[in-house]
Amino acid sequence: MNVARNLEFILKELPSAVKLVAVTKTHPDDVILQAYHAGHRIFGENKVQELVSKHQNLPGDIEWHMIGHLQTNKVKYIVPFVHLIHSVDSIKLLNTIDREAAKNGRVIDCLLQLKIAKEETKYGMDSDDVLAMLCSADYKQCSNVRITGLMGMATFTSDESQIEKEFENLADTFRKIKDSFFKEKTYFCELSMGMSDDYKIAVKAGSTMVRIGSLIFGERKYQ
Ligand SMILES: *Cc1c(COP(=O)(O)O)cnc(C)c1O
């Protein structure tokens, strides 16, 4: 596995406006450092414990993204340093992040995770949940979080037209929410979609941020 070469290959293919989140879950520090020394600075983890320990062990100028499901009782561990939370899927979670961010004197950027896949296992809200959230008093009182866009994961399938449809739906929802709630807000600009197997489809559908693990670091070995 040549991490630097894999990174270079992917970056060459991505339009320059699309950000690459290198997903490091299950990979050891020395492998992650290969990406760091190749110049990469944006890394993503899906578990709080792993995110916290990697943040502690690795260089301080890394921009850490939380991309996995986040439980409210664990928010406090990542709030001091996290750069972007991709996986906000309830007003309760957003309120918790807001409260913990205030304690830390921070404003934390968050993406709302939408459920676009057919599988029952994927987390996320539907667009009605998002509308309800953005209209709620609980949302309006938040001053230590900033919603900068949306995130979604497509169905795990080889049917590319299905994946394409799901990403286009998400891009459509993004435009509608932007128009209704964030029209003048230039910070509402991120559409996090696309992983190793489907990032090209996602980019075509308008992704601004892809989250790629195995294509950079190889297959994951779970214990
Ligand atoms: C693991 C993970 C990824 C990256 O998956 P790959 O298929 O290895 O690229 C992207 N997004 C989320 C939320 C993940 O948990």
Residue nearest to atom 12 of ligand 1 (CA): 67
Assess contact for 110 and 133: CB atoms under 8 A. Answer: no
Q: Indicate whether 142 belongs to any domain.
A: yes
Output the pLDDT for position 21: 98
Alpha carbon 77 to its chain's center: 18
Output the pLDDT for position 121: 72
Residue 63 token pair: 């921009």
With a 6 Å cutoff on the Cβ, whether 152 touches ligand 1 is: no
Q: Indicate whether 155 belongs to any domain.
A: yes
> Phi and psi dihedrals of 122, rounded to 5?
-80, 135
Question: Other CB atoms closer than 10 Å to residue 96's CB: what's the count?
Answer: 21
Output the pLDDT for position 123: 86
Residue 212 token pair: 């790629």
Query: How many Å apart are CA 48 and CA 28, to the nearest integer?
Result: 16
Output the pLDDT for position 125: 96
Length of the chain: 223
Mean pLDDT of 74-83: 98
With a 6 Å cutoff on the Cβ, whether 136 touches ligand 1 is: no
Q: Indicate whether 117 belongs to any domain.
A: yes
Q: Supply the range of the domain harboring residue 93.
A: 3-217
User: Tell me, what CATH number does 136's domain have?
Assistant: 3.20.20.10
Angle at 36 between CA 97 and CA 65, to 5 degrees: 15
With a 6 Å cutoff on the Cβ, whether 213 touches ligand 1 is: yes
Mean pLDDT of 178-197: 97
pLDDT band at 169 (very low <50, low <70, confident <90, very high): very high
Output the pLDDT for position 223: 56
**109-133: per-residue pLDDT in tens?**
999 999 999 887 778 999 999 999 9
Mean pLDDT of 130-144: 97
pLDDT band at 220 (very low <50, low <70, confident <90, very high): confident
Instruction: Tell me the three state secondary structure of residue 28.
Output: coil
Q: Indicate whether 114 belongs to any domain.
A: yes
Mean pLDDT of 180-197: 97
Q: Does the pLDDT of residue 206 top 70, yes or no?
A: yes
Q: Does the pLDDT of residue 138 top 90, yes or no?
A: yes
The tally of domains found in the chain comes to 1
**7-37: per-residue pLDDT in tens?**
999 999 999 999 999 999 999 999 999 999 9
With a 6 Å cutoff on the Cβ, whether 46 touches ligand 1 is: yes
Ligand 1 center to 213 CA (angstroms): 6
Q: Indicate whether 223 belongs to any domain.
A: no
Over the chain, what is the mean pLDDT?
96
Q: Indicate whether 67 belongs to any domain.
A: yes
With a 6 Å cutoff on the Cβ, whether 24 touches ligand 1 is: no
With a 6 Å cutoff on the Cβ, whether 55 touches ligand 1 is: no
Q: Is the pTM of this model over 0.95?
A: yes
Q: Does the pLDDT of residue 221 top 80, yes or no?
A: no
Q: What percent of the chain has pLDDT over 90?
A: 95
Residue nearest to atom 11 of ligand 1 (CA): 211
Q: Indicate whether 106 belongs to any domain.
A: yes
**Ligand 1 atom nearest 86 alpha carbon:** 13
Output the pLDDT for position 107: 98
